């Protein structure tokens, strides 16, 4: 039975790979809505191929170009951030793939949940910033939240058929990024180009920098907290350079289940879209002979401070994860622009956590204000 998809962030890394899955299974997955923030040329190309019901370009200045390019086709064209959120509510949409990066994914996620849509979610920042609100709304609306991140998909797959009460801990694996083994002094001269060279995965710029700084793993710890209902003490991070074991679950009897496979984001995307069915796929298969050893290390949180900062934010709770997330987004932008050093990103995040007002029980408006205040604070520091 065909599943009609709203792919939010269709021109990004996750979005383009999701469309690869749609090409493999045209009778099962129909792109009903495609959205992009800036890349209007690729959005037009995708729309001409898949002929969705609607497309949205976030940048209003590019609306005319998209509308004119699609004027001879039965595709509705909208623009603006509000429209990206509103199209998730369309009655013709069965599932929303949330592939928007950063805080911008929160608003459309909430719109989709209020409309009763199941969500395949690749936007970890939504859980980091407002996990309690998101989970409460999903429960009330009886919506499925199916993880797309390879680590959380691995945990999700390991827990199918299991009793969550029997979990002793979950183990999130991390590649260690391009600077694994470096010390603090090594990182001061890291260039933008070096940080964007991930050893195992091809991803967008923001998530690649997050991976290099270990912030991505910190965000994943917070996402796991909300997805699986576990405290920080039951979420462990282990460095696994080969990226073959995507994550593990240890149960109270000591046994461990692991989900393994070659690093390929199409696999968790496809699983999220087709769940609970596993579809045949033509992707390369893992060969044990090609990986005679799988290795593991303890994370160096004194050098890669972002992971420690994320645990601190989770333990503190309230709006502290929101502060951390907003500070990190601005810090990454500043690093990519050459305004701060690689270790300087952690300095900015730490200062924001110490300086921005803490709210123990924030509501949605508090999150918006916290995000705004934090961004302004970190931007002022990065321009000094």
Torsion of Cα atoms, 235 then 365 then 368 then 325, to 10°: -10
Q: Is it the case that residue 383 has pLDDT exceeding 80? A: no
Q: How far apart are CA 347 and CA 328, in angstroms?
A: 10
Burial 202-219 (b: 16+ CB within 10 A, else e): ebbebbbbbbbbbbbbbb
pLDDT of residue 201: 66
Does residue 337 sit in the same domain as residue 308?
A: no
Does residue 281 sit in the same domain as residue 238?
A: yes
Q: How far apart are CA 362 and CA 247, in angstroms?
A: 31
Residue pair 17/44 in contact (Cβ under 8 Å)? The answer is no
Does residue 63 sit in the same domain as residue 93?
A: yes
Tell me how many domains the chain contains. Answer: 3
- Dihedrals φ, ψ of 187, to 5°? -80, -15
Does residue 128 sit in the same domain as residue 48?
A: yes
Does residue 303 sit in the same domain as residue 331?
A: no
Q: How far apart are CA 340 and CA 349, in angstroms?
A: 12
80: alpha, beta or left? (left if phi > 0; alpha if psi -120 to 50): left
Average pLDDT taken over every residue of the chain: 95
- The 10s digit of each residue's pLDDT in 288-303 is 999 999 999 999 999 9
- The 10s digit of each residue's pLDDT in 36-83 is 999 999 999 999 999 999 999 999 999 999 999 999 999 999 999 999
**Which residue in the block uniquely carries the two structure tokens 């994860």?**
321
Domain with 13 in it: what CATH number? Answer: 3.40.50.720
Domain boundary among 277, 312, 347: 312
Does residue 256 sit in the same domain as residue 356?
A: no
Domain boundary among 99, 118, 147: 147
In what helix (H) or strand (E) does residue 156 lie, and over which residues does it extend?
helix 150-159
Domain boundary among 257, 291, 312: 312
**Residues constituting the chain:** 384
**Is residue 346 very low, low, confident or very high in pLDDT (cuts 50, 70, 90)?**
very high
Q: How large a percentage of the chain has pLDDT more than 70?
A: 99
Does residue 272 sit in the same domain as residue 330?
A: no
Residue pair 182/152 in contact (Cβ under 8 Å)? The answer is no
Q: How far apart are CA 269 and CA 147, in angstroms?
A: 9
pLDDT of residue 223: 95
- The 10s digit of each residue's pLDDT in 230-271 is 999 999 999 999 999 999 999 999 999 999 999 999 999 999
Does residue 132 sit in the same domain as residue 219?
A: no
- The 10s digit of each residue's pLDDT in 122-179 is 998 899 989 999 999 999 999 999 999 999 999 999 999 999 999 999 999 999 989 9
Residue pair 237/211 in contact (Cβ under 8 Å)? The answer is no
Tokens of 202: 């091809």
Does residue 232 sit in the same domain as residue 182?
A: yes
Tokens of 236: 């462990």
Domain with 325 in it: what CATH number? Answer: 1.10.1740.10
**β-pairing, 256-260 with 245-251?**
antiparallel
Based on its alpha-carbon atoms, the radius of gyration of the chain, rounded to whole angstroms, reads 20
Q: How far apart are CA 221 and CA 313, in angstroms?
A: 11
- The 10s digit of each residue's pLDDT in 360-371 is 999 999 999 999
Q: Is it the case that residue 198 has pLDDT exceeding 80? A: no
Does residue 183 sit in the same domain as residue 93?
A: no
pLDDT of residue 205: 87
Range of the domain at 237: 152-312
Q: How far apart are CA 174 and CA 168, in angstroms?
A: 20
Does residue 307 sit in the same domain as residue 322?
A: no
Q: How far apart are CA 218 and CA 320, in angstroms?
A: 13
Tokens of 14: 């996750």
Name residues whose C-beta falls within 8 Å of residue 169's C-beta, 6 or more positions apart in sequence: 230, 234, 235, 236, 249, 250
Does residue 307 sit in the same domain as residue 173?
A: yes
């Amino acid at each position: 039975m065909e599943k009609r998809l709203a792919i939010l962030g269709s021109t990004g890394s996750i979005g383009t790979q999701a469309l690869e899955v749609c090409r493999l299974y045209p009778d099962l997955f129909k792109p009903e809505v495609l959205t992009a923030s800036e890349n209007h040329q690729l959005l037009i190309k995708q729309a001409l191929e898949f002929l969705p019901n609607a497309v949205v370009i976030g940048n209003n200045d590019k609306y005319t170009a998209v509308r004119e390019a699609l004027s001879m086709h039965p595709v509705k064209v909208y623009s603006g951030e509000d429209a990206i959120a509103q199209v998730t509510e369309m009655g013709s949409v069965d599932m929303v793939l949330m592939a928007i990066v950063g805080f911008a994914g929160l608003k459309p996620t909430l719109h989709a949940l209020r409309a009763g849509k199941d969500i395949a979610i690749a936007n970890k920042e939504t859980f980091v910033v407002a996990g309690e609100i998101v989970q409460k709304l999903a429960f009330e609306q009886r919506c499925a939240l199916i993880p797309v991140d390879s680590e959380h998909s691995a945990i999700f797959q390991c827990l199918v058929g299991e009793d969550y009460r029997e979990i002793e801990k979950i183990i999130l694996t991390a590649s260690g990024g391009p600077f694994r083994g470096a010390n603090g002094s090594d990182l001061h001269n890291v260039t933008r180009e070096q940080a964007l060279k991930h050893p195992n995965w091809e991803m967008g710029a923001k998530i690649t920098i997050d991976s290099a700084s270990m912030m991505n793993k910190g965000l994943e710890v917070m996402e796991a907290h909300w997805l699986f209902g576990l405290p920080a003490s039951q979420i462990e991070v282990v460095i696994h350079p080969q990226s073959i074991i995507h994550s593990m679950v240890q149960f109270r009897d000591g046994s461990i289940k692991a989900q393994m496979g070659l690093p390929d984001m199409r696999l968790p995307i496809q699983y999220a879209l087709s769940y609970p069915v596993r579809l045949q796929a033509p992707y390369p298969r893992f060969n044990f002979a090609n990986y005679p050893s799988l290795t593991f290390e303890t994370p160096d949180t004194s050098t890669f401070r972002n992971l420690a900062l994320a645990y601190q934010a989770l333990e503190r709770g309230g709006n502290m994860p929101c502060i951390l997330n907003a500070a990190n987004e601005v810090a990454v932008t500043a690093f990519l622009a050459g305004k701060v050093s690689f270790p300087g990103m952690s300095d900015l995040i730490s200062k924001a956590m110490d300086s921005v007002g803490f709210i123990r029980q924030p509501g949605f408006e508090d999150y918006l204000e916290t995000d705004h205040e934090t961004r302004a604070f970190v931007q002022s520091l990065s321009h000094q």
